[in-house]
Amino acid sequence: MIGQNESLSHEESDRAWTFRGYRLDPAHFTTAMVHLYRGEMGRANIWRTRLDTTTNWAVITVAAALTFVFGAPQNPHFMLLLVLLLVLVFLMIEARRYRYYALWAYRVRLMETDFFAAMLVPPFRPSSDWADHLAESLLHPIFLIAWWKAVGLRFRRNYVWLTALLLLSWGAKLALYPAPVTDGAAVVRRAAVGLLPGTWVLAAVGVVYGILVALVVAVSLPHAWQGALSRLLRRLGWPLRRVKGPLTPEPYPQERLAIIITNSGQQIAPHLLEELGRGVTALKGTGMYTGEARDVLLCAVTDVQVSHLREIIRRVDSEAFVVVSPVEDVRGKGFRSFEPPS
């Protein structure tokens, strides 16, 4: 009878997952992870191809515009400005696609570094929090790159050359066609578009290129400065850091701070350490109504661990008082690393 119980206990320990009578053993779990990896890799490749497609649209459009504008002296120069606007639209589309690509690539890289690589290097087990990060990304998909940063990165990567070519070509068109001029005032007069004077057109083009240059400078800053810029934009009401899906806003904090007031701190803390893999800090408190001593436990967890934390507390001390609050930022082992000072 004892041997049978030990066998059942061993069988229970080998189960990685159960649902409505179905049992998933470690071998099946690995197979499921392989299929997940293939699926995420496929999605990353698709969105990577879409990035190249958008760039190809921009290149073909610029080439066609230059051929038309310089094909005859009487062809209008403002066609290059319209093409510039179209190229900027392509840039916006590509930035959106890049944010999706970064999400899928993040999941692929997370499985490569923390699951498959862990099979090859002792102690042959993944880190304690990799599954939390992957589960959080699957349950609450969010863009990992701010919109302004995605625009700046794609512009610096590809579109800086196209927009620079358009600017030089527009200047050459104004200065050389229909006849060469050496007077700057004549160039300004030629820059007019319909009822808009040339000075207005030149000012608008300067503003557009100034914004693009500012984006390039912003994405070239150290990461600490970029984080400060994102926080500043959020305070101004621009939720540009993270967004769940294409439209629905998602609050920035994804970590939670659990404050547990209990008489069983010594019993709860080991379960939090072992089952959640999170550090616990114990403080001494006093109930002001009863005057009795209490244990106050502080534990930082991720979103997906909150339900497990509540189950542990309910199992050990159902009378405990628990407060789970969102936090602005958590730095340290198992969360984001400390960034070096800039």
If asked whether residues 105 and 243 sit together in one domain, one would say yes
In order of 18, 30, 33, 304, the CA distances from 26 in angstroms are 11, 6, 10, 21
Query: What is residue 159's predicted lDDT score, i.e. its pLDDT?
Result: 94
If asked whether residues 134 and 154 sit together in one domain, one would say yes
Query: What is residue 81's predicted lDDT score, i.e. its pLDDT?
Result: 93
If asked whether residues 118 and 203 sit together in one domain, one would say yes
If asked whether residues 112 and 222 sit together in one domain, one would say yes
Asked whether residue 21 is assigned to any structural domain, the reply reads no
Asked whether residue 338 is assigned to any structural domain, the reply reads no
Query: What is residue 15's predicted lDDT score, i.e. its pLDDT?
Result: 53
Query: What is residue 85's predicted lDDT score, i.e. its pLDDT?
Result: 94
Retrieve residue 70's tokens. Answer: 């310089």
The domain that holds 284 is classified in CATH as 3.30.70.120
Where a domain ends, among 193, 220, 249? 249
* Residue in the structure block whose two tokens are 């984080």: 227
Query: What is residue 243's predicted lDDT score, i.e. its pLDDT?
Result: 43
Q: What is the pLDDT of residues 170-215, one digit of tens each?
A: 999 888 888 888 788 888 888 888 888 989 999 999 999 999 999 8
Q: What is the pLDDT of residues 102-116, one digit of tens each?
A: 989 999 998 988 888
pTM summary value: 0.67
CA gap 240, 148 in Å, rounded: 7
Asked whether residue 3 is assigned to any structural domain, the reply reads no
Q: Which residue type occupies 243? A: V
Asked whether residue 228 is assigned to any structural domain, the reply reads yes
340 upstream amide cis, omega within 30 of 0: no
If asked whether residues 40 and 158 sit together in one domain, one would say yes
If asked whether residues 178 and 154 sit together in one domain, one would say yes
Asked whether residue 15 is assigned to any structural domain, the reply reads no
Query: What is residue 228's predicted lDDT score, i.e. its pLDDT?
Result: 74
Query: What is residue 88's predicted lDDT score, i.e. its pLDDT?
Result: 95
Query: What is residue 17's predicted lDDT score, i.e. its pLDDT?
Result: 66
**Rg of the chain in Å (alpha carbons):** 29
Query: What is residue 326's predicted lDDT score, i.e. its pLDDT?
Result: 82
Asked whether residue 77 is assigned to any structural domain, the reply reads yes
Per the DSSP assignment, residues forming a β-bridge with 324 are: 258
Query: Taking the chain (342 residues) in consecutive chunks of 10 residues, what is each chunk's mean pLDDT?
Result: 41 56 77 90 91 93 92 88 94 93 90 86 77 81 84 92 93 86 84 88 93 90 74 61 42 72 89 85 86 88 83 88 82 56 34
Q: If we measure between CA atoms, which residue out of 207, 204, 172 comes closest to residue 190?
A: 172
Backbone angles phi, psi at 248, to 5 degrees: -75, 120
If asked whether residues 146 and 228 sit together in one domain, one would say yes
CA gap 215, 205 in Å, rounded: 16
